[in-house]
């Protein structure tokens, strides 16, 4: 008969990733580079929002972008036209990015000269919320056509982000979208969440968003 030995590990599955995320944040602090993790479902306007953000801040900040997708480089090619440094990461079927993949992307970009790196995470409201990428701040986009019930359906995502951008507000008239209900639902999950309604298409609200971002970059890179 075999003798079996039980060996306790008692380790959270995310512990390994959390450690790598901390290491990445330390490196970013040293390099004076601010990493923003931007999450949302597919089609919410992440890339358009990134383009708007670059346009608003490119004269004052050196910006890099990490585009994470399961496949293709359509987003990276759109972003590269702005002149920002961009790297396309393929997750190869994985539905989220972890800290190690993010680190590889950051290394590929080379952060020494960059003030701000925007990580456009895989379009998904579930798994990216579970993994710390090593970002300094987390933001998410909820677009009007997706509906105001999303904080109820994907509570974890809404509870871990620092900023919620409500995009496509120019289309509010067409959809039954209760923006006050979203704010209330999101704040119940996350009292400190900052909610900024925007339209990446018309540019509405982009100033408030980029003011917030500029301020965060400044705080990170100075202290």
Partner 1 sequence: MHELGVIIEVVKTVEDFAIKNNITKIDTLVLQIGELSAMIPRYVEACYPAAVDGTMLQDTKLKIEILPGNALCRKCNKVFNIIENKGICPNCNIKDYELLCGREFKIKEIIAC
Q: How far is the CB of 13 from partner 1 (least distance, A)?
A: 5
Q: How far is CA 150 from CA 6, 143, 187, in A?
A: 43, 10, 13
Inter-residue contact 98 to 177 (CB < 8 Å): no
State the nearest-atom distance from the C-beta of 204 to partner 1, in Å.
Answer: 34
**Residue of 220, 21, 23, 35 lying closest to 130 (CA atoms):** 21
Residue number with CB closer to partner 1 (7 or 59): 7
Alpha-carbon distance 193 to 48, whole Å? Answer: 22
Beta bridge partners of residue 138, listed in sequence order:
37
Nearer residue to partner 1 within complex by CB, 127 or 195: 127
Residues near partner 1, by CB under 8 A? 2-17, 94-96, 98, 124, 126-127, 130, 156
Q: Which is nearer to partner 1, 23 or 94 (CB)?
A: 94
Min dist. Cβ of residue 8 to partner 1 (A): 5
| Least CB distance to partner 1 at residue 130 (A) | 6
From the CB of residue 110, how many other CB atoms can be counted at a distance below 10 Å? 13
Residue labelled with tokens 């997708």? 69
Between 94 and 172, CB nearer to partner 1: 94
Bridge partners (DSSP) of residue 69 are 90
Indicate the residue among 152 and 172 with the shorter CB distance to partner 1: 152
The span from the CA of 122 to the CA of 202, in Å, is 24
Residue 154 or 209: the one with the smaller Cβ distance to partner 1 is 154
Closest C-alpha to 104, from 118, 88, 115, 85: 88
What's the min distance (Å) between Cβ of 218 and partner 1? 34
> Using an 8 Å Cβ cutoff, are 166 and 188 in contact?
no
Taking the complex as a whole, how short is the minimal distance between the CB of residue 10 and partner 1, in angstroms? 6
């Amino acid at each position: 008969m075999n003798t079996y030995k039980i060996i306790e590990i008692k380790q959270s599955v995310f512990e390994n990733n959390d450690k790598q995320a901390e290491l990445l944040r330390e490196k970013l602090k040293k390099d004076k580079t601010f990493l923003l993790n931007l999450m949302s479902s597919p089609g919410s306007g992440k890339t358009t929002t990134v383009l708007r953000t670059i346009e608003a801040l490119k004269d004052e900040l050196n910006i890099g972008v990490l585009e994470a997708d399961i496949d293709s480089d359509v987003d990276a090619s759109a972003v590269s036209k702005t002149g920002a440094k961009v790297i396309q990461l393929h997750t190869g079927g994985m539905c989220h990015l972890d800290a190690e993949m993010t680190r590889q992307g950051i290394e590929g970009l080379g952060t020494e000269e960059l003030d701000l790196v925007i990580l456009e995470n895989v379009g998904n409201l579930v798994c990216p919320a579970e993994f710390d990428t090593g970002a300094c701040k987390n933001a998410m986009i909820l677009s009007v056509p997706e509906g105001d019930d999303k904080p109820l359906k994907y509570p974890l995502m809404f509870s871990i982000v620092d900023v919620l951008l409500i995009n496509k507000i120019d289309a509010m008239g067409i959809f039954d979208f209760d923006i006050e209900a979203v704010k209330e639902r999101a704040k119940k999950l996350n009292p400190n969440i900052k909610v900024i309604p925007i339209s990446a298409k018309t540019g509405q609200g982009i100033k408030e968003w980029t003011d917030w971002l500029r301020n965060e970059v400044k705080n990170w890179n100075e202290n």
